[in-house]
Homo-oligomer: A and B are copies of this chain.
Amino acid sequence: MKKESKETAVLLIDCPDHKGLVHAVCDFVLTNNGNIINLGQHVDRTDNHFFMRIEWEVDDFTIPSDKIGEFFDTLIAKKYHMQWSLHFGARKPRMAIFVSKYAHCIHDILSRYESNEWDIEIPLIISNHDKFESLADRHKIPFYHFPITKENKANQEAKEIALLKKHKIDFIILARYMQILSSQLIDSFPMKIINIHHSSLPAFAGANPYKAAYLRGVKFMGATAHYVTEELDEGPIIGQDVVKISHRDSINDMKRKGKDIEKIVLANAIWSHLNHKILIYKNKTVVFD
């Protein structure tokens, strides 16, 4: 997962489908001396909506990096009513972790961080408990303990938002954070908060999905990574995985097996997000691979 030696730009685009969209975007890059190293494109035929991800080397690009957005918007995006975002590989994404008391996801994330599997910064960990303070210390990541009660929730979240803004956080991972976020926090990081839910959504949304799955007697259980929106467990799904179970599995067995797919599904979602591979449209995702 080493960074490429050359600096690259990633452009994520979506708009109503139209003849010549791929051509127009490629033309913009090639005419200005960009070397395309990745191109993903998808048309949703039901909605006639177009999605594109293009990555190119900007070392010899005619347009200076801080002007690319303006030029693309003026020359291409406006003409086709495109939504777009532009990202540069040189800037390390800054990720915050929210966690409560379950260890498997945060351990897995910090192991990858320590191994340089991901090219990111983790400027802080926030928790409503103090359980993982020493773990954070060990990884030299500042740890902030914000106990949450019904009464102090709005106040504590306001402090969290200020802290996140101060640290220029790009996106937030809820690594089994057992609190429902209020809209002030969600709205401050729209489509920038990723949650891991321990079921195959939409099955078993809400609390205690393992128990619910056990009682229903399902033969597969799952995990779902999704962006957090105001509707609980209803945000755009980034990734899912499942594991076969049987009557032999107790709720404890389900928890044990579930933890392993939760951490992998979450890690894959983080990987796609930080590589700017996800487009959101109509509460669904396009995840380029």
Contact = CB atoms under 8 A, between A and B. Distances in A.
A42 B249 CA distance: 11
Contact of A27 (B23, B108, B286): B23
| Residues of A contacting B: mostly | mixed
A67 interface: no
A258 to B, nearest CB: 12
A103 B107 contact: no
Interface string A107-131: 1100100110100000000000000
Contact of A115 (B19, B104, B203, B214): B104
A287 B247 contact: yes
Contacts of A44: 247, 250
30 contacts: A22-B26, A23-B27, A23-B30, A37-B43, A38-B43, A41-B41, A42-B247, A44-B250, A45-B250, A46-B214, A46-B250, A46-B251, A104-B115, A107-B107, A117-B256, A200-B220, A201-B203, A202-B216, A202-B218, A203-B203, A217-B237, A217-B282, A217-B284, A217-B285, A218-B237, A220-B240, A242-B242, A244-B244, A260-B264, A260-B267
Instruction: Please state the number of chain copies in the assembly.
Output: 4
Contacts of A46: 214, 250-251
A239 interface: yes
A108 B260 CA distance: 10
Interface string A265-289: 0010001000000000011111101
Interface string A27-41: 100100001111101
A207 interface: no
B117 A107 contact: no
Contacts of A252: 1
Interface in A38-62: 38-39, 41-46, 51
Contacts of A214: 46
Interface in A226-250: 236-237, 239-242, 244, 246-248, 250
A1, A23, A214, A241: residue with the most chain B Cβ atoms closer than 10 Å: A23
A179 to B, nearest CB: 21
A167 interface: no
Contacts of A251: 46
A93 interface: no
A138 interface: yes
Interface in A86-116: 103-104, 107-108, 111, 114-115
Contacts of A19: 30, 35-36
